[in-house]
Structure 1
């Protein structure tokens, strides 16, 4: 969720070392040498021949290598989507567009007067992570599954938040969650297919199943669900994952802010940011008492999970996979080991939180979802410790091992997973600077993670700067990467930073980076496409864009990078409209179509836009009330994106 940096969660008060306290001082000079040095001997060539890419990376993809051939876009303040010369950007799916359920396709009303029931059949607000599932080869037709992270109630309702009601709360719930839509390429460009047999909206009130070690746990049981195996809804869905067996993983990120807490939260609630007044932004607890943790404390434990969805069956029940742990989940990049085990890499977007890895017990079987319905329910969850000298280890989060015992407050494996943060604290994992999206380069075996920023870095009671990241506060962020020793299910790895974000010309340490090429700040979305190009998307808060360290960065953007290029250049591919976050990325199977999400255009620094003056911040995409939307990008000559 895009927020003022000063409002981001920071609840980790453990004594664990931060990433900056374990870095080798000698690495500072090496990093400042730029990407050319960073692609040296530490990460030599490697091929994971048995690792499966996501379904979009199929045999239809051309073997083009990682070359980047477009002319970079100049940085500018703009209220439109800007792409390189020779490219076209087309708006495909806006907030409020009908999802495509047959016989139930209410049109969007420009004054936002659609009801909660209508909103539950339309695109949600604030599009985020996204995946493409090919149909008929995937070059001209497919299914898009995408997240709707949160809402701006100032724009969601005709009179904004001047008044409040249960209907407004329920409309907000309906604007969260996930859309599943069918898309196809026509003579005039890509469009949604309406009606579609795949069309589906999943909201904060959709019935879901709880599976894995925490299912049925005492901490998961409520008055409405005494068995602890059923839950309503998913929300604050940020980044995502796509499994080799054809499912969509949506990740619950800043869910704690939807619950109203007690005057005196207990240690468990404090560790997850629950407090009195924490539900005052969305005010759902005023309409639905399950969001009042003073009345239903266990409902709070039923969120913070990775949810698996079958995008091809709108009648299927989404499943919360508790074996992957509970966190402010940002994403879930999924790959396979040589033996076919599933490996899921996950960041947790909060200050000083952790990077996780899940390894399945069993290998993936042929037969798609039908043969792998429980693959993510059995396995081992790990948390990362980054040691000095560029080495690291994965610490198993297994009940009974090390400090994870009943005497230490972990009665069983279910409690270890529900209290993933506390378990990671106890294990001595490394505190990171807001780890967000993860992605796996299947050709080299390298795993990347964006560390967006951490403006608490260097405060009096928080970890300070060091040689590996000499910036306090860390306003610009960086991208870290690692390579496992052996296969992806190993427990040791080598790591370095791909790049420190920020303008190299800035004199302040808090903003200086080592980027060669087009500079950026606050890296967030991240994806290695099927041919090996690394795409980087940014999410600098509207409260800082164009100011201070971001004075030369008035808008968020998307860039392309070949991590193996000796020149190490990063090139700007896209600029977003005013106030937006650029996020979500997927490609059709022939790599000639790219889908990108534009989130919260026109977001005001206070995050609640004035519906009476929507043009004050943005008119994108239609000249009126700003609407998040999916954009389709193609080359005018029909060629492969990025070449």
Structure 2
């Protein structure tokens, strides 16, 4: 079967593909790293060999529908405004990252679903600000509808996924929820002396820890912080939440740095230390990893969270193939070197930077500036960063950067020295390039299924979809790239998003028979409330589009 979405990819795959394909024949090589493999990424983690990529790929589309291959169907599990619990809490706006946590062991028919809520649209949520800013009611809506939702879901006798609105676990984490700060910035001058802060918002992607909590990442926080008159240094962090225990204090881990976090991918160094990879979703921004001081101990369960409070934050220097430690001593040495000039991307004078960096708290609060000062490489919007569960290589979705003519983005693959996530040296390759030849543009979230297929969603901006050089690709979509079998190296389109929407946050049940997927910002380009560009999910009588999480079924046991 030939179509524009099944272009040969082999010429764009790196030479390491052979190793990946060999590893994908099974996961026996990871038996000594069970915890790492199980939490390497928010989409993959279950050793079941069920998702094979055996489907008839769909064509690019411009329809206001969520389109899937023949034999697959979806249920809307939760949409903006839906009640999620007996207390009357409602599902937030612009859902992004999802993570499924089974109830009763590895039960694939019932569990808790964490869902990020990234930002609001004033047209549909809080309304336009007045001359003096938002009213108290508007601010409450703005903050409440960001953050995250914890919902309990189950599969009924007919195979349809539904939400249990009487769940004892279901609750909201919002821009109004009190958070503890941990790590070097806690109580420091750099955050105004705060040890606790108000809320989380701009929650983009995330990850799952080795101890079964969720990490959620604050990305483009500035507008909400400014509108709510909140201290911006209290945002741009990685937060941690225990879905199963409402009394467990939610926290922000400052040791992981403050920047425009896309996601977090956790694994283990060869010596047992915890490693967290992160991307800064900005043009000309850096790639980071955190290595804990202490070592992971499964017997300590959630007490392992302390590992995220003490360690070293690094940024990648692509030219040298090294991880640069972001320490106050290194930054002070750099800024006080005779003739030091502030990097042009920072936009601050040398004298201002010298005054700004006085402690390790300052380094983590201004991590992106510290990284550039110390020679880390600015790159093309590093969004999702994931650890391959097959060979410990690191995949980075560089979505695009029109400042440098990188219109369609690419996927970079890191090879850590000695295959050790704790290494401080690496090599890399361009694993895949977006464009007409590959059938997709602007790769975002990445992951693997247990047959070694690479899955990627795309993030063409609403203002560019179906225009100019992006017209070829239609609406945003979800693509699968098999690494073995008769379709090896071909890009297959699995899903097409509704009008103006982006597909985000895919995650599977343990048996890989259900894929959860967020449909974010359908109808985002709407200018007048009575003329929406989308009405997805097309609920009877509804006059507005609604971001929603869907459960896709049709995968065979």
- Per the shorter chain, which TM-score range? 0.7 to 0.9
Query: In 2, distance between residues paired with 1:58 and 1:241?
Result: 11
Mark the CA change 1:341 to 1:563 in structure 2 (over 3 Å): closer, same or farther: farther
Matching residue of 1:325: 257
Kept in 2: contact 1:404–1:416 (CA 8 A): no
1:589 is aligned to 2:510: yes
Query: In 2, distance between residues paired with 1:574 and 1:450?
Result: 19
1:155 is aligned to 2:120: no
Query: In 2, distance between residues paired with 1:348 and 1:44?
Result: 31
Matching residue of 1:497: 430
Mark the CA change 1:257 to 1:60 in structure 2 (over 3 Å): closer, same or farther: closer
CA apart distance, 1:619: 3.9
**Secondary structure of the corresponding residue to residue 330 of structure 2:** coil
Matching residue of 2:365: 418
1:39 is aligned to 2:17: yes
Deviations 1:183-216 (A, max 9, x none): 1111131111111111110111100000011111
**Secondary structure of the corresponding residue to residue 369 of structure 2:** helix
Query: In 2, distance between residues paired with 1:444 and 1:320?
Result: 30
Report 1:551-590 matches (<5 A).
551-563=471-483, 567-590=488-511
1:78 is aligned to 2:63: yes
Matching residue of 2:324: 395
CA apart distance, 1:529: 3.4
Kept in 1: contact 2:327–2:363 (CA 8 A): yes
Kept in 1: contact 2:186–2:254 (CA 8 A): yes
1:192 is aligned to 2:112: no
CA apart distance, 1:485: 0.9
Report 1:528-547 matches (<5 A).
528-547=448-467
Mark the CA change 1:442 to 1:32 in structure 2 (over 3 Å): closer, same or farther: closer
Matching residue of 2:191: 220
Equivalent residue in structure 1 for 2:110, among 141, 153, 156: 141
1:385 is aligned to 2:317: yes
Mark the CA change 1:544 to 1:405 in structure 2 (over 3 Å): closer, same or farther: closer
Kept in 2: contact 1:440–1:528 (CA 8 A): no
Matching residue of 1:91: 76
TM-score between both structures, scaled by the size of structure 1: 0.76
Matching residue of 2:152: 182
Query: In 1, distance between residues paired with 2:245 and 2:45?
Result: 24
1:455 is aligned to 2:402: yes
Query: In 1, distance between residues paired with 2:45 and 2:477?
Result: 30
Moved more, 560-569 or 185-194: 560-569
Kept in 2: contact 1:393–1:492 (CA 8 A): yes
Equivalent residue in structure 1 for 2:198, among 232, 235, 238: 232
Query: In 2, distance between residues paired with 1:431 and 1:140?
Result: 43
Matching residue of 2:277: 345
Matching residue of 2:343: none
Kept in 2: contact 1:34–1:568 (CA 8 A): no
Matching residue of 2:389: 442
TM-score between both structures, scaled by the size of structure 2: 0.87
What is the aligned residue count?
515
Matching residue of 1:130: 98
Deviations 1:595-628 (A, max 9, x none): 0000011110xxx6422223x3334342531000
Mark the CA change 1:206 to 1:609 in structure 2 (over 3 Å): closer, same or farther: farther
| Structure 1 residue runs of 4 or more that deviate by more than 6 Å after TM superposition | 41-44, 56-60
Mark the CA change 1:455 to 1:59 in structure 2 (over 3 Å): closer, same or farther: closer
**Secondary structure of the corresponding residue to residue 318 of structure 2:** strand
Kept in 2: contact 1:38–1:497 (CA 8 A): no
Matching residue of 1:208: 179
Query: In 1, distance between residues paired with 2:359 and 2:21?
Result: 38
Query: In 2, distance between residues paired with 1:305 and 1:627?
Result: 27
Report 1:273-312 matches (<5 A).
284-285=227-228, 290-291=229-230, 299-312=231-244
CA apart distance, 1:399: 2.3
Deviations 1:158-202 (A, max 9, x none): x66689532122211111110011111111311111111111101
Mark the CA change 1:498 to 1:169 in structure 2 (over 3 Å): closer, same or farther: same
Mark the CA change 1:447 to 1:43 in structure 2 (over 3 Å): closer, same or farther: farther
Query: In 2, distance between residues paired with 1:528 and 1:77?
Result: 27
Matching residue of 2:48: 62
**Secondary structure of the corresponding residue to residue 537 of structure 1:** strand
Structure 2: runs of 5 or more not aligned: 1-8, 337-353
Kept in 1: contact 2:274–2:295 (CA 8 A): yes
Kept in 1: contact 2:519–2:549 (CA 8 A): yes
**Secondary structure of the corresponding residue to residue 73 of structure 2:** strand
1:52 is aligned to 2:36: yes
Mark the CA change 1:367 to 1:90 in structure 2 (over 3 Å): closer, same or farther: same
Matching residue of 1:376: 308
RMSD of aligned residue pairs (Cα, Å): 2.5
CA apart distance, 1:433: 0.4
Query: In 1, distance between residues paired with 2:524 and 2:381?
Result: 21
Query: In 1, distance between residues paired with 2:333 and 2:97?
Result: 33
**Secondary structure of the corresponding residue to residue 235 of structure 1:** coil
CA apart distance, 1:67: 4.2
Mark the CA change 1:493 to 1:43 in structure 2 (over 3 Å): closer, same or farther: farther
CA apart distance, 1:63: 3.8
Kept in 2: contact 1:405–1:411 (CA 8 A): no
Mark the CA change 1:127 to 1:426 in structure 2 (over 3 Å): closer, same or farther: same
1:252 is aligned to 2:252: no
Mark the CA change 1:259 to 1:139 in structure 2 (over 3 Å): closer, same or farther: closer
Matching residue of 2:444: 524
Query: In 1, distance between residues paired with 2:529 and 2:157?
Result: 37
Query: In 1, distance between residues paired with 2:318 and 2:517?
Result: 32
Moved more, 234-243 or 438-447: 438-447
Query: In 1, distance between residues paired with 2:144 and 2:238?
Result: 19
Kept in 2: contact 1:155–1:609 (CA 8 A): no
